[in-house]
Structure 1
Amino acid sequence: MSQHDHSAASSPAVHDKAAPEGVEVPDAHAHHAMQNDGATMNHGSEDQHEGHGGHAGNGDHVARFRKLFWIMLVMAVPVVGFSTMFAMLVGYSLPGAAWTGWISPVLGTVMYVWGGAPFLTGAVSEIRSRQPGMMLLIGLAITVAFVASWGASIGLLDHGLDFWWELALLIVIMLLGHWIEMRSLAQTTSALDSLAALLPDEAERVEGDQTVTVSPAELRVGDIIVVRPGGRVPADGRVSQGAASMDESMITGESVSVRRGEGDHVVAGTVATDSGIRVEITAVGDDTALAGIQKMVAEAQASSSRAQRLADKAAGWLFWFALGAGIITAIVWTLIGMPDAAVVRTVTVLVIACPHALGLAIPLVVSISTERAAKAGVLIKDRMALETMRKVDTVLFDKTGTLTKGNPAVTAIEPSGSFNADELLALAAAAESDSEHPLARAIVAAAADRNLDVPKSTDFESSPAVGVKARVGNREVQVGGPYLLEQENGTELEIAHQWRDQGSIILHVLIDGEVVGALALADEIRTESHAAIAALHDRDVQVVMITGDAEAIAATVAAELGIDRYFAGVRPEDKASKVKELQSEGRIVAMVGDGVNDAPALAQANVGIAIGAGTDVAIATAGVILASDDPRSVVSVIELSRASYRKMTQNLWWAAGYNLISVPLAAGVLAPIGFILPMSIGAVLMSLSTIVVALNAQLLRRLDLNPERYTQQ
């Protein structure tokens, strides 16, 4: 095929599929150089997750606490049942044999040493790190109960200090709380596990004339591999032969398959649904897009945030509050001549003051929210960004590739003479059907969208900087830009001036040398952009657009989408200054961009959002990555941020408020009116607080983050 260009503008070279295998032919079929202020993003990689309270929230801990809980529950039955104090409280008599009196002390000691080991170990770690918290309080409470109970059992202390049953219940309930916590935290890593499971176990590498089955770990950059129909791509690469519809939903969240042909990038974990392809590996291991997504989810779950630091600070203050309350309780009850009650009250205070629920309040909410986001194709790279999104009042969208598709589309058809619009488009599509240029594809796609019957063409020719020519039936059809009109002595249609003012690309259609109409093509606005902007307006968020395109193009797009403000003709290096300009007005700005040239603006914004992940996702300056290119996902991030903050606030108030109220009751401030909070009830209520916090956080899983629910009103 010869080379041609519809207009005088130049364009980047593209590869022509009609070229012989292994030969790359630069196609100068440049209708027009579309200005694009977007670029590509890159992934990072790492897979780690840190749990709450100094222990990893993984499957090992879940299994450990589950096993320990059930063993301790079985042991707690005889400990409680043969406890003298419990028998007195419930009102039944124990057997008269002397050995029955040692069942609770012996089994209670086993429970303290075995079941209490996680808390005692954690308490020692907190002492060594000089960061007292939940584990130290639990360890102190069970140790006090253990010592007091032995003292009562051997007669050194009053028999009223027989706390074996309370000790057993406390250990069982605390293990149950930790099991629930570990299971909840482990569930938040399911997104990482499912991503890791996307990679195939084997890959077929081409070696000479043969294919050899190898592990994906053995692949190297430059290897050629075969992906068969229904098979998964083992590593990032570029299609070197063939074409296939790729299911990329696990990476982008988009359910519709995407056609990938020679020269196109494919991502590890995606599926070739209809045919086989050969892929040249361009990235392996930690450099792949899949590994980058795993890293972002893991880093988000492990990162700290202002709310987390607030919870940690609150837990620290609560420790000193509980310690002070315990000391005051011991002194006051001792001074009034009730040393036994002093021990009971002090132990109860220490049990109830455990900041377990407080320590769980924030990490669990953030872990669940980042997991929910990841499953919806929203990767929270920085927890601070997620927290800030709830306060954003201005969203600044980069135009090309974000609000628009970055690809041309037919926006207007103007026939002249005896042809109507559909006939004109069908003839143009027939002439362009053998071309692979983006503008040619746009014309053919427009005809397909209208379900037009496109006639066959023959004798296809193209001419650099002029246009294409083909024979359709017994007529010669030409499509091209201004040089074609000049060459054929044709006259530009009057409407072309209006289209040019709007920034459109103009192609005229000639039949047998006579101008019979014109087509206007422009960067196609995403249908989702209308709904995204409407949804943002519904949430009182101002929408601003920034672009390097001319004023006319920017004004046209802004008017069509209902954008509040826009900045036109902005160079990439000047985008950050526009963000500063908005911030100087007192606005909290989220910048949404799709490329490396948006990085300074993404860094300057209060929240940087990278949209349209493609095959690479690692703009270091973006706090949020949208794996798909749907701008409605920005609304989902705002909704997630607001919902997460509500859950954090609710959990903090429940956990801290519960402790602040219950500790004085445990100390016995209402003893003068006859109300004393038993330690057993304190243990139950404390663990109930933890369970309530965990269940409240789990409600985030019901949040619908599907961007398709935001539709244009």
Structure 2
Amino acid sequence: MFLRGAVDELRSRRPGMMTLISLAIVVAFGYSLAVTFGLHGMDFWWELATLILIMLLGHWIEMSAVMGAQDALGQLAKLLPDEAERVIGGVDGATETVPVGALSLGDLVRVRPGSSVPVDGEIVDGRSDLDESLLTGESKPVSRTVGEQVIAGSISGTGSLVVRVTKLGGDTALAGIMRLVSDAQASKSGTQVLADRAAAWLFYVALAAASLTLVVWAILRPGDPSFVLERVVTVLVIACPHALGLAIPLVAQISTAIGARNGLLIRDRHAMEDARLIDVVLFDKTGTLTEGRQGVVAVVTADGQPENAVLSLAASVEAPAEHPIARAIVTEAKTRRVALVRADEFEALGGRGATAVIDDVSVTVGAPRLLAERGLAPSDRLAEAAREAAGRAQTVVYVIHGSEVIGFISLADVVRAESAEAVRLLHDRGVRVAMLTGDSREVGEAVARQLGIDEVFAEVLPGDKAATVAQLQKDGSRVAMVGDGVNDAPALAQADVGIAIGAGTDVAIESAGIVLASSDPRGVAKVITLSAATYRKMLQNLAWATGYNVVALPLAAGVATGIGILVSPAFGAVLMSVSTIVVALNAQLLRRIRI
């Protein structure tokens, strides 16, 4: 195994640990063989056998530790059942048991109480509390009912569900999480790159030290080749960078596994390493600190305008739009059974609203700043009512018919129950918390007061979010951006650390270094805590691995022979293995951290 590893390292021109071990074994074997066939000296057969045995033990400890850290992928894979109950002939039809691989998109599957959901899908019948803890890190069961999405691997509670298959195989959320974990475990941080370089340099240092040892002792003890060679072999054995090669990768593997179990998916090791240095966390409001569910609170009209008429015009304009505010207005119209009318020439006004033509008249639904852009002003009564609504953290959109402001619709975005605690946890770590939103300043400041947020950037257009991150970075602050939407992607990429909410879009997730599997903003504080603990363990392991070589190499070379300290090759192998064990055990202590 060691010889094959050395050949591979030399072929790739990257000599390292295996090359050093092989060199020590070959030198000891060759010299012992020569002594056995008549060369004057003392053979090393016993020491060589002991050396190989302890080297194998150290290698086994290393591989066991690494495989144990990679077990996170195995645990995720176990969440998926091998078989599913496919429903035949509609929701109330009979079922047949089939392999999960035999399912097709659009198939219906029955999920019985206590069983795992086999695929990602949409509930078409039933209701149940689902345990998604191994996917999101959230221990509290989540209630799901008709029309809501379920994730493969989650476990149904007491309810029975019928689920329509929407994603299969590699497209499921669990498969995506497994890819993220695997990629993160394969990636390297700056500290690991440094350790790899140190391990590579140690090969040349060991060769130089062995050569110097050979020359010096050949001059000092020319008649004792056995002693000289023993010193050379001991130097080569002790210099094996087992501990140094294991110091960083094992900590990285374990931290990735810990993160996955807590709903923190690390896409980029650099991001996890840098998270401990964050000075400012910038949250996008909608979908992160809030649930992103807009609901109409009130329709306030100008004198003489019926509420349902104003709502009908607004919903007719917003019907083609996908913005949450637009969907909330259309939903309210449907709830009130207000008829929509035909709207032509629809146009989205990026970050400000939408406009269309109804009965040959331009109708616009838009943010307050749109009024200023057009030089329009609402009546005093409307303006006062709008200020009061904004003061209650409600979003106000005006309805403009031609050039007349005929009313406004106020909407509220539900603040997540966990957001206040998320801000408090960050403050406890000495981190500033800022928020950006496309809503009015009044809405932004109302939410900030409710949550205790330090800074607010309001009325920010989608294209300006990255500029807001850059503004915070100007004074040298290291910024973490937390977002979930397509328009957050540039800001996530601009930030020192980009953190995407797992419920967000694929574009946002691809732009982030870390993904929160759930939508719980408290995960940001967990990221910083895990980052600090991981980096601390990395430094501890590096200090031990390098310090061991600094002390052990001179002793192996025989500098303390004059005071009676002489390290044999076998004892050198023991020392080398002890260093590996210490590094492995210290890395395992990371599992005790509570995030």
- For Structure 1 versus Structure 2, the TM-score category normalised by the shorter chain is 0.7 to 0.9
Q: 1:581 maps to what in 2?
A: 471
Asked if residue 318 in structure 1 is aligned to residue 202 in structure 2, the reply is: yes
Could you tell me whether the CA contact under 8 Å between 1:612 and 1:630 is conserved in 2? no
Aligned residue type for 2:60: W
How far apart in 1 are the matches of 2:394 and 2:8?
67
| Structure 1 residue matching 2:30: 3-state secondary structure | helix
Q: 1:141 — aligned with what? A: 24
The equivalent residue for 2:66 is 185
TM-score (norm: length of structure 1): 0.67
Q: Contact 1:289/1:615 (CA < 8 Å) preserved in 2?
A: no
Q: Aligned partner of 2:72: which letter?
A: A
Which residue of structure 2 lines up, in the alignment, with residue 50 of structure 1?
none
Runs of 4+ more than 4 Å apart: 408-412, 494-497, 614-618
> Structure 2: how far apart are the matches of 1:462 and 1:566?
35
1:406 aligned counterpart, secondary structure:
strand
The reply to whether residue 559 of structure 1 matches residue 449 of structure 2 is yes
Other-structure match for 1:27: none
Task: Report Cα offsets for 1:257-295 as digits up to 9, x if no partner.
Answer: 222222211111122222222221111000000100111
Q: CA deviation at 1:144?
A: 1.5
Match of 1:36 in 2: none
2:44 counterpart residue number: 163
The answer to whether structure 1 residue 362 and structure 2 residue 243 are counterparts is no
SS of equivalent to 1:166 = helix
Q: Superposed, which structure 2 residues align to 1:362-441 within 5 Å?
A: 362-407=248-293
Greater displacement, 342-351 / 676-685: 676-685
Rounded Cα–Cα distance in structure 1 between residues aligned with 2:155 and 2:509: 25
Contact 2:185 2:253 in 1 (8 A): yes
Mapping for residues 322-337 of structure 1, pairs under 5 Å = 322-336=206-220, 337=222
For 1:192, the aligned partner's letter is L
Query: Pick from 226, 236, 239: which aligns with 1:340?
Result: 226
Question: Could you list the runs of 5+ residues in structure 2 that have no partner in the other structure?
Answer: 299-323, 329-334, 341-380, 397-409
Identity of aligned residues (%): 57
For 2:387 and 2:13, how far apart are their aligned partners in 1? 75
Is residue 613–residue 625 contact of structure 1 (8 Å, CA) maintained in 2?
A: no
Which whole-Å CA distance do the structure 1 matches of 2:412 and 2:147 have between them? Answer: 24
Query: Is 1:277 equivalent to 2:161 in the alignment?
Result: yes
SS in 2 for 1:592: strand
> Partner of 2:237 in structure 1?
351
Pick closer, same or farther for the CA change 1:498–1:615 going to 2, 3 Å. closer
Change (3 A) 1:559 1:322: same
Distance 2:205 2:297 in 1: 68
Aligned partner of 1:175 among 56, 68, 78: 56
SS at match of 1:203: strand
1:12 corresponds to which residue?
none
SS in 1 for 2:418: helix
Structure 1 counterpart of 2:2, from 91, 99, 119: 119
1:504 corresponds, among 375, 382, 394, to: 394
Other-structure match for 1:293:
177
Q: Which has the higher contact order (CA 8 A, sep 6+)?
A: 1
Q: Does 1:199 align with 2:80?
A: yes
Contact 1:120 1:139 in 2 (8 A): yes
8 Å CA contact 2:393–2:447 kept in 1: the answer is no
What are the residue-to-residue correspondences of 1:20-59 with 2, within 5 Å?
Answer: none
Q: Tell me, what secondary structure is at the counterpart of 2:184?
A: helix
1:657 maps to 547
Does the 8 Å contact 1:293/1:617 carry over to 2?
Answer: no
- How far does residue 614 in structure 1 lie from its aligned partner after superposition? 7.3
Match of 2:361 in 1: none
Q: Distance in 2 between matches of 1:356 and 1:206?
A: 55
Which aligned pairs between 1:460-539 and structure 2 lie closer than 5 A?
Answer: 462-464=336-338, 498-504=388-394, 522-539=412-429
The one-letter amino acid paired with 2:427 is: H
User: Shift of the alpha carbon at 1:405?
Assistant: 2.2
Q: 1:617 to 1:695 in 2, by over 3 A?
A: farther
Work out the CA distance in 1 between the residues paired with 2:100 and 2:76. 15
What secondary structure, in the 3-state scheme, does the structure 2 residue paired with 1:686 have? helix
Aligned-partner Cα distance in 2 for 1:253–1:600 = 27
1:683 maps onto 2:573 in alignment: yes
Trace 1:195-274 onto structure 2 (pairs within 5 A). Answer: 195-208=76-89, 209-274=93-158
Matched AA of 2:451: L
TM-score, normalised by the number of residues in structure 2: 0.80
What are the Cα deviations for residues 502-521 of structure 1, in whole angstroms up to 9, with x where unaligned? 34279xxxxxxxxxxxxx97
3-state SS of 2:587 partner = helix
Aligned match of 2:372: none
Distance in structure 2 (CA, Å) of the matches to 1:582 and 1:220: 48
Match in the other structure for 1:669 = 559
Shift of 1:577: 1.2
